[in-house]
Amino acid sequence: MIAIREAWRAGLLRREHWLRNLVAGVIVGVVALPLAMAFGIASGVKPEQGIYTAIVGGLLVSLFGGSRLQIAGPTGAFIVILAGVTAEHGIDGLQIATLMAGGILLLLGVSRLGSVIKYIPDPVIVGFTAGIGVIIWVSQWKDFFGLPAVTGGHFHERLWHLLQSLPQLHLPTTLLALLSLALVVLAPRLRVLGRIPGPLIAMVVATLIQSVFRFDGVATIGSAFGGIPQGLPQLGLPEITLARLIELIGPAFAIAMLGAIESLLSAVVADGMGGTKHDSNQELIGQGIANLAAPLFGGFAATGAIARTATNIRNGGNSPLAGIVHALTLVLILLFLAPLAANIPLAALAAILFVVAWNMSELKHFKRMLQRAPRADVGILLITFGLTVFSDLVIAVNIGMILAMLHFMRRMASSVAVQQQLEQDLEPELLGNGQTRLPDGVLVYTVEGPLFFGAAETFERALASTHTDPRLLVIRLKRVPFMDITGLQTLEEVIQQLGRRRIRVKLCEASPRVRGKLEKAGILELIGVPNYHASFADALSACMETPEVKAS
The tens digit of pLDDT for each residue in 292-302 reads: 999 999 999 99
Tally of helices (H runs) and strands (E runs) in the chain: 26, 7
What H or E segment, with its residue span, contains residue 155? helix 155-165
Residue 547 CB-density burial (10 A; 0-12 exposed, 13-18 middle, 19+ buried): exposed
Could you please state the CATH topology (level 3) that the domain comprising 416-545 is classified under.
Answer: Transcription Regulator spoIIAA (3.30.750)
Q: Where in the chain is the domain with CATH 3.30.750.24?
A: 416-545
Cα angle 74, 61, 231 (rounded to 5 degrees) comes to: 60
Report pLDDT for 441: 84
* Helix/strand/coil percent split, the chain, to 5: 70, 5, 25
Taking only the tens place, the pLDDT of each residue in 86-144 is 999 999 999 999 999 999 999 999 999 888 777 788 899 899 989 999 999 999 999 99
User: How buried is 461 (Cβ within 10 angstroms: 0-12 exposed, 13-18 middle, 19+ buried)?
Assistant: exposed
The b-or-e profile of 347-369 (16+ CB within 10 A means b, else e) is bbbbbbbbbbbeebbbeeebeeb
Q: Indicate the DSSP class of residue 237.
A: -
pLDDT > 70: what percent of the chain? 96
pLDDT at 236 over 80: yes
pLDDT of 550 > 60? The answer is no
Mean pLDDT, residues 392-418 taken together: 85
Asked if residue 1 has pLDDT above 60, the reply is: no
Band (pLDDT 50/70/90 cuts) for residue 410 is confident
Residues 536 and 538: their CA atoms lie apart, in Å, by: 5
pLDDT given for residue 464 in this prediction: 63
What is the model's pLDDT at position 190? 81
Judged against a pLDDT cut of 80, whether residue 161 lies above it is answered with yes
pLDDT > 60? residue 467: no
Query: Given pLDDT bands bounded at 50, 70 and 90, which one contains residue 548?
Result: low
SS3 label, residue 507: strand
Report d(CA 1, CA 181) in Å as an integer: 41
pLDDT at position 551 is: 47
Mean pLDDT of 441-467: 76
331 pLDDT band (50/70/90 cuts)?
Answer: very high
Q: For 405-526, where are the E strands, in sequence order?
A: 417-421, 442-448, 472-479, 504-508
How far is residue 356's CA from residue 351's CA, in Å, rounded to a whole number?
9
**Contact between 324 and 25 (Cβ < 8 Å):** yes
The pLDDT score that the predictor gives to residue 547 is 62
| Calpha distance 191→462 (Å, rounded) | 70
pLDDT at 463: 66
Mean pLDDT computed over every residue of the chain: 90
- At position 211, the amino acid (one-letter code) is S
Confidence tier at 375 by pLDDT (50, 70, 90): very high
DSSP state letter for 478:
E
**What is the pLDDT averaged over residues 136-162?**
89
Predicted confidence (pLDDT) at residue 454 exceeds the cutoff of 90: no
